[in-house]
Amino acid sequence: MTSTTPASIAIGSDHAGLTLKDALRAALEAAGHAVTDHGTHGPDSVDYPDFAHAVCAAVAGGRADRGVLVCGTGIGMAISANRHPDIRAAVLHDGTEARLTRAHNDANVACFGARTVGVEVALDALRAFLGTPYEGGRHDRRLAKLAPPGAKPAA
Ligand code: RB5
């Protein structure tokens, strides 16, 4: 993993995502990122929301710049992560999705499916995710509308 600004990353997975999570963590560390691994750490069956909530609390609380979550499909992790008001999580299958969700959605959590993407594709997407800035501009207005319906608009 090269050409990304070193950042602090919170990472987590369930049992289905363990092997890919460990591979992504190793690549992030080799690239100089500070990585906090929120587990899981073994093959026993666990519940993906527990790990999504731990990683998202770290990102929303400012203890990590970005989050990375891995489960079987990435979908359960993304559903869990997007329950957090300050989290914008996207399931990534390639570098194009990673670039666009950073540029347009200012996504701060990347989710991967260990049963749906290979490690090289995930690494390529993760590099793009960490290396692409948010474009702002017209997208600010749209992000402001992501607040739950009925919520008071930000001042
Ligand atoms: C676990 O079997 C699986 O359901 C989980 O990893 C994930 O894919 C859920 O979205």
Query: pLDDT tens across 26-71, in order?
Result: 999 999 999 999 999 999 999 999 999 999 999 999 999 999 999 9
Catalytic residue set? 71, 104
Q: Which domain holds residue 70?
A: 8-144
- Whether ligand 1 lies within 6 angstroms of the CB of 49 is answered as no
Q: How confident is the model at residue 3 (pLDDT cuts 50, 70, 90)?
A: very low
**Residue 155: per-residue pLDDT:** 57
**Residue 9: per-residue pLDDT:** 98
Q: Which residue has the higher pLDDT, 130 or 150?
A: 130
The total number of structural domains in the chain stands at 1
Residue 24, in any domain of the structure: yes
Residue 25, in any domain of the structure: yes
- Among residues of the chain, what percentage have pLDDT more than 90? 90
Mean pLDDT of 75-81: 98
Residue with CA at minimum distance from ligand 1 atom 8 = 72
Residue 155, in any domain of the structure: no
CA-to-CA separations, 26 to 32, 35, 47, 71, 140, in angstroms, rounded = 10, 9, 23, 17, 34
The rounded Å distance from CA 32 to ligand 1 centre is: 30
- Whether ligand 1 lies within 6 angstroms of the CB of 48 is answered as yes
**Residue 11: per-residue pLDDT:** 98
Per-residue burial over 7-33, b if 16 or more Cβ lie within 10 Å, else e, is eebbbbbbbbbbebbebbbebbeebeb
Residue 102, in any domain of the structure: yes
Residue 71, in any domain of the structure: yes
Q: How confident is the model at residue 2 (pLDDT cuts 50, 70, 90)?
A: very low
- Whether ligand 1 lies within 6 angstroms of the CB of 14 is answered as yes
Residue 103, in any domain of the structure: yes
Q: Which CATH number belongs to the domain containing residue 55 in this structure?
A: 3.40.1400.10
The rounded Å distance from CA 130 to ligand 1 centre is: 25
Q: How confident is the model at residue 85 (pLDDT cuts 50, 70, 90)?
A: very high
Residue 35, in any domain of the structure: yes
Alpha helices, DSSP H, located in 41-147 = 48-60, 75-81, 95-105, 119-131, 138-144
- Whether ligand 1 lies within 6 angstroms of the CB of 72 is answered as yes
84 pLDDT exceeds 50? yes
Residue 34, in any domain of the structure: yes
The rounded Å distance from CA 17 to ligand 1 centre is: 8
